[in-house]
Structure 1
Amino acid sequence: MAALSAPWWLPGGHLQTIWRKLATAPTLIRQRQRIELADGDFIDVDRLPAGGDNKPLVFLLHGLAGCSASPYILAMQHTLHSAGYDSVAMNLRGCSGEHNRLAVAYHSGCSDDVEQVIAALMAAQPRPLVVIGYSLGANVLIKWLSETGFKPQLRAAVSVSNPFSLDLCCAQMKTGMAYWYGRYFLRRLRTDLQNKHADLVRQGVDDEVQRIQQLGPLDGLQTLWDFDDAVTAPLHGFAGAEDYYLRCSSRQFIADTPVPTLVVHSHNDPIIPPQSLPRADEMSSLVSCEILPFGGHVGFTSKGQNDWLERRILRFIEQSQLS
């Protein structure tokens, strides 16, 4: 496989990041499945069967403000389908185009939701499993790997552009060019919560409406840290943003990875500072860490090969089946 070499027209991390966001994604005919959760909420997943019953099922997790229709998810499912792998893309709570039923949403440590979805999939068809996570989804994935009861089914895992240290990433998005990424995420999260509140009011779900109203006004929130401290933390049982970041940052869980795991990251990621990444002595011997000079945040397009990332992940999955 060709080494990653940034195209002349995408020389920096910001451009590679934006390219992925705006990239043309393949059109896929997928099957939507709703999975009911123990707390009365639901998760929607999008399945793309390829007739690969003799191969592991590949499970994908999107990033912050993303969904199963994010270009990187569609591109990966397309590549997997072409190689004969069945895949399932999970929409985190409230990300499938329909507001979830409860005031709670998704966050960087929502590994219990992943466990419930995997349990439903394995109950319907037990089989080997490969998991891929991107950005926030990669953080959730590494945490889930350390906790899951489905370790015997796991064959491989892939973490792409994982923030690893949530506090450092949030601090990064308070200054410089990264500030605008933080503003984008803040605007998306605040709008999503306001729209869900209005939807719950229309439905007359008073208890859930009250839980959101108790958070107070959202207009004064200026940074992603502000949102996590005022909204994410209290909604999901954390004492504040600091407690949330401390308990959910996946850097502390990477040593417990139970299967061969590929970590793909770039030196020019505009959102994740280098000091966020785990040191070699913090990682399991099962982890292969590829820190590339180019790629941005979930970008990784290469000269003459826009699907470099998808090909790299597929090669890792196939090599894992031989070991």
Structure 2
Amino acid sequence: MPVIESTYKAPLLFRNYHISTIYASALRKVPRPPFKRERLELEDGDFMDIDWSSAPGKNTRVVIILHGLEGSSNRPYVMGMTNHFNKNGWDVAAVNLRGCSGEMNRLYRSYNAGASEDLEQVIAHILDGNIYSELALTGFSLGGNLMLKYLGEDRKLPKEIKGAVAISAPCDLYKSLLKLQEPQNFIYSRRFVNKLKKQLLLREQKFPGQISTEEIASCRSLYSIDDLYTGKAHGFEGARDYYEKSSALNFIPNIKIPTLLLNATNDAFLSRNSSPEGLAQNNRHFYLETPKHGGHVGFLQNKEETYAEERAVEFINKHAR
């Protein structure tokens, strides 16, 4: 029954969900890792950019970090996690999902919460060099859902994968979307909608005839964007089909490597069933930790590292031995 009692105690100020979430996303200052960019050419003719940061010395351990919706390797949570893994002897491959590295990808499709085939190609590429004998995974929010889906799908995982940590992951995409659209989250949902619409307008210019300016302008919610673009561009019938087939809840029961899901109870982006105690109780490989505070990708402390960064390294080191 790997449901873990959390030891995270949020400082008084960061017990407020909004302060924790906004500070971690917009105000937290994190030293930029010495990233070196590699372009990975994908099987379908597209590309993803991987930003590498190496620990001192020669290492045989690497962790892949996946960002969240409209994120990149430049987000404070990715850089903070990179720095902490580097300090603990792990090389880091911070993945920029399709279209998220500052340059639009080549195809009309981009990234989504269920694009596990892209993660599969990243892992195969990294292990092809025969440098690393141990590989771990860390995913935030949308990237956490993607990672959990990959781990629970019907595939033979590389023996090098030793452990994984998902942080603030919306394991039920549709119900978490409904939470994000509640009035108290207006500032966040509106920001996502505006950023995604700007990206779609750029995509309309590059792929005329696939999508129209009028269709984009009519979108007023994340659901409408997913119904217009995300679902159909990635082979789904629409938004609901995309959510139902990509949600990690469908795949967690089949996870067979040590995996931790760290979701704060006060994360108003997530539906209640995104922290599935029943699945943790019935899968000895799936660990669930739900501290009372933390916000969305927050988990701030009175020191440089967040609790999520410390916890990810601790969990993965324990299971990589």
Corresponding position of 1:299: 298
Cα distance in 2 for partners of 1:183, 1:43 equals 27
Aligned 8 A contact 1:25 1:74 in 2: yes
Cα RMSD of the aligned pairs, angstroms, is 1.8
Answering whether residue 135 of structure 2 is matched by residue 96 of structure 1, we say no
Cα distance in 2 for partners of 1:38, 1:52 equals 33
Corresponding position of 1:133: 139
Corresponding position of 1:166: 173
The residue type paired with residue 151 of structure 2 is L
How do 1:98-247 residues align onto structure 2 when only pairs under 5 Å count?
Answer: 98-127=103-132, 128-147=134-153, 148-198=155-205, 200=206, 208-213=207-212, 217-247=215-245
Where structure 2 has 5 or more consecutive residues not aligned to the other structure, the ranges are 1-5
The residue type paired with residue 295 of structure 1 is G
Q: Which moved more, 1:171-180 or 1:242-251?
A: 171-180
Corresponding position of 1:73: 78
Q: Against the structure 1 CA distance between its residues 102 and 209, is the aligned structure 2 distance closer, same or farther, given a 3 Å change threshold?
A: farther
Q: Secondary structure at the match of 2:145?
A: helix
Q: Which moved more, 1:299-308 or 1:221-230?
A: 299-308
Cα distance in 2 for partners of 1:52, 1:258 equals 31
Q: Which moved more, 1:246-255 or 1:19-28?
A: 19-28
Aligned 8 A contact 1:25 1:71 in 2: yes
Q: Secondary structure at the match of 1:116?
A: helix
Q: Against the structure 1 CA distance between its residues 164 and 294, is the aligned structure 2 distance closer, same or farther, given a 3 Å change threshold?
A: same
Where structure 1 has 5 or more consecutive residues not aligned to the other structure, the ranges are 201-207
Q: Which moved more, 1:258-267 or 1:142-151?
A: 142-151
Cα distance in 1 for partners of 2:231, 2:266 equals 30
Q: Secondary structure at the match of 2:165?
A: strand
Answering whether residue 252 of structure 2 is matched by residue 254 of structure 1, we say yes
Residues 286-306 of structure 1: CA deviation (Å, up to 9, x unaligned): 111110000000100134565
Q: Against the structure 1 CA distance between its residues 217 and 26, is the aligned structure 2 distance closer, same or farther, given a 3 Å change threshold?
A: same
Query: What TM-score comes out, normalization by structure 1 length?
Result: 0.91
Query: What TM-score comes out, normalization by structure 2 length?
Result: 0.92
How many residue pairs get matched? 312
Cα distance in 2 for partners of 1:249, 1:30 equals 31
Aligned sequence identity (%): 34
Corresponding position of 1:6: 10
Cα distance in 2 for partners of 1:319, 1:279 equals 22
Q: Against the structure 1 CA distance between its residues 63 and 175, is the aligned structure 2 distance closer, same or farther, given a 3 Å change threshold?
A: same
The residue type paired with residue 168 of structure 1 is K
Residues 72-97 of structure 1: CA deviation (Å, up to 9, x unaligned): 11001101111111110000000001
The residue type paired with residue 83 of structure 1 is N
